[in-house]
Amino acid sequence: MREIILMSFAGPDRPRLSASLMEVLAKHAVSILDVGQAVIHDQLSLGVVIEAASAQDSAMLMKDVLFRAHEIGLQVRF
């Protein structure tokens, strides 16, 4: 069964943050349904809605996204 997940990222804005996150999504071959982004006073707020093929696929994706977000200094909520 396919799953739809909203991922919300927040933290200090820097170049290539979105590219780094999208790289993880591309490795998992998910469909990106919607993206919203705002930067206010150098603080990034990024929302990404994705569709994963199954609950197992989404669990692995969320783990990888969580690690990447930590590496680049962002908080993430699912």
pLDDT digits (tens, 9 = 90+) for 6-47: 999 999 999 999 999 999 999 999 999 999 999 999 999 999
Compute, in degrees rounded to 10, the torsion defined by CA atoms 27, 30, 35, 77: -80
Coil, helix or strand at residue 28: coil
- Look up the pTM and report it: 0.91
